[in-house]
A and B are shown apart, each in its own frame.
Chain A
Amino acid sequence: GAGVSQTPSNKVTEKGKYVELRCDPISGHTALYWYRQSLGQGPEFLIYFQGTGAADDSGLPNDRFFAVRPEGSVSTLKIQRTERGDSAVYLCASSLAPLEGNTQYFGPGTRLTVL
């Protein structure tokens, strides 16, 4: 693919609802990252996948957040019982391999608004 794509670009939901955010990484990239970026701040690490497995999920804020990557390509970030504080831009990035210093290519993000 040309780059990392994320859908939807915008998602508005009500407090308490369930949402899924999708990330399509660059073809062939084995590493995939999810970040959350609040207004005026830098991205905050959530979870990192190497292939199909979550290699580091230490950034997930609580058990309402869950992510999967069943076939080692597309990933879905799932948020249960959304809260207003979950409102943010959710960024996905992929890289060729999980080597330190490797280039992460970011998608445009999904802007989540919880009313």
Chain B
Amino acid sequence: TQLLEQSPQFLSIQEGENLTVYCNSSSVFSSLQWYRQEPGEGPVLLVTVVTGGEVKKLKRLTFQFGDARKDSSLHITAAQPGDTGLYLCAGATSGTYKYIFGTGTRLKVLA
């Protein structure tokens, strides 16, 4: 059974601080996605990474896919209260069209 573990599970930081969220698995994924979900809404896709070692930047967010395509990280620089939410990683294995979601990291950024 594929399992995506995210750490930390909860994170509360002050505005302006930096943070990193990790997504780890023993399985190899052909693609991995990061989502942010706010209360009462569905997850919204932030990025998709497909190549081992790939780094993508989205404003203050930096996403990295591990060389072995088993893990990923999300780094936020100078966090803002608007970054508050549940961050989810989701991985797909080659030949399947379903994404397995991680356990989630709940981030709270205090003003």
Q: Which residues of A contact B (CB under 8 A)?
A: 4, 31, 33, 35, 40-45, 48, 50, 55-56, 58-59, 91, 93, 98-101, 103-109
Contact = CB atoms under 8 A, between A and B. Distances in A.
A62 B111 CA distance: 45
Contacts of A98: 97
Nearest to A92: B42
B43 interface: yes
16 contacts: A4-B42, A35-B101, A42-B6, A42-B90, A42-B101, A42-B104, A100-B94, A100-B96, A101-B31, A101-B33, A104-B45, A105-B45, A107-B42, A108-B42, A109-B41, A109-B42
Contacts of B97: 31, 48, 50, 55-56, 98-100
6 closest residue pairs by CB, A with B: A106-B42, A42-B101, A98-B97, A101-B31, A101-B48, A42-B104
A48 to B, nearest CB: 6
A59 to B, nearest CB: 7
Determine the main DSSP class of B at the interface with A.
loop
What's the interface size class on B, roughly? 20 to 34
B50 A43 contact: no
Given A100-B92, A101-B31, A106 B43 contact: yes
Interface of B: 4, 6, 30-31, 33, 40-45, 48, 50, 88, 90, 92, 94, 96-104, 106
B42 A93 contact: yes
